[in-house]
Amino acid sequence: EEAYSLAILLSETVPATESWKSKVLATDLLGSAIISASKGQYPSSSLRLISPHLRNSYFTKAEMNGRERSYEISPAIRKMVSFRRANMYDPKFWGMLRQQFDLIVCNNLLIYFHALAVQQTVERMARALKPGGLLVVMKNEADYVNHASLRLDETLPGAFFKKV
């Protein structure tokens, strides 16, 4: 849900132009999570708090498992998101990326790593960010981010680190 939510947010806030095409790369260690997420199908209960504007603009009604009412993400949003099975600690993953990112969102990952793995993963994420790019972590993970090129942006709520 997070990857498509981010794509919807980008679609709502960033004008689509030929010079700026927003893309979202979503990763997970589990292949089953990638398969499930890439389907872009949600039970109606998942959309109960979403505004009618967003529901009507980005979702169509569908059937899930042949019986339950559900919604499917729009093709335009689906095209913005790509999924990849990846271990965020693995240097090979970071080495194969061919572009730098404006934004990296890392939720509930660093808390599972030992200190050296945290340091190495934060280093790789910092290298993958464009200058001025943001690394967003959960508030409870903010203390794990200790890198010379990343500064906590105290003007934003939460734990946003800007690459300097």
CATH superfamily of the 87-164 domain: Vaccinia Virus protein VP39 (3.40.50.150)
The mean pLDDT of 37-48, rounded to a whole number, is 90
Q: Is 1-86 assigned to CATH 3.40.30.10?
A: no
pLDDT bucket at 62, cuts 50 / 70 / 90: confident
- For 140-160, the pLDDT digits (tens) are 999 999 999 999 998 888 899
Give residue 67's pLDDT.
62
**Is the distance from CB of 150 to CB of 162 less than 8 angstroms?**
yes
Task: Answer whether 1-86 and 87-164 agree in fold.
Answer: yes
User: For residue 53, is pLDDT > 90?
Assistant: yes
Pair of tokens at residue 39: 């389907």
Q: What is the dihedral sign for C-alpha 44, 46, 48, 53?
A: negative
**Can you tell me the mean pLDDT for 66-88?**
89
pLDDT tens digit sequence for 95-125? 999 889 999 999 999 999 999 999 999 999 9
Domain boundaries of the chain, sorted by first residue: 1-86, 87-164
